[in-house]
Amino acid sequence: MTRRAATLIWAALPATPFLFAAVAFDQARPPRAPELVGPVFWLAVAASALNVALSRLLPARLGPRAANDREAVAFSRLLVGFALCDAAALAPLVAFMVTRDPRLLAVVALGVLALALLYPTDRRWERARPAQAGGPARAVS
């Protein structure tokens, strides 16, 4: 059931940026300080890239290296990765609301793509599970 729950959560998360995009388009205003559009764009790109990088690096470091409840650890690790990718898609939407810079929509798409690539396949699920107690530790990819 745990992997099934992870798959359902994974499937629901891409809707968040798309639903929030409706709000972002409605609330987007011309920038009060046009000179800040460039720096805000690059700040959003950096925040998004950092979240995607953390979604790939951080989960493997979470939880015990060996555990009795391997399914729960795998679920937690994948869930952290999903959340970081969702944040990678939402940060540029907030910046879009402030700047109306259409380039940010491409950054949103990259965050959603990063989430799509974290689909909990058999291989990814197995790699997210910690080693059995007394066994060698594995990394998550």
In order, the DSSP letters of 34-79 are GGGHHHHHHHHHHHHHHHHHHHHHSGGGSS-SB-S-HHHHHHHHHH
Sequence ranges of the domains in the chain: 2-22+37-128
What angle, 0 to 180 degrees and rounded to 10, lies between the N-to-C axes of helices 103-116 and 37-57?
10
Look at the alpha carbons of 16, 22, 26, 32 in this order and tell me if their dihedral is positive or negative. positive
pLDDT digits (tens, 9 = 90+) for 84-135: 999 999 999 999 988 999 999 999 999 999 999 999 999 999 999 888 765 5
Strand, coil or helix: what is 133? coil
- The reported pTM is 0.83
pLDDT digits (tens, 9 = 90+) for 26-81: 888 788 788 989 999 999 999 999 999 999 999 988 877 666 788 889 999 999 99
| 125 closest CA partner among 138, 108, 114, 112 | 138
Rounded-to-integer distance, Cα 48 and Cα 50, Å: 5
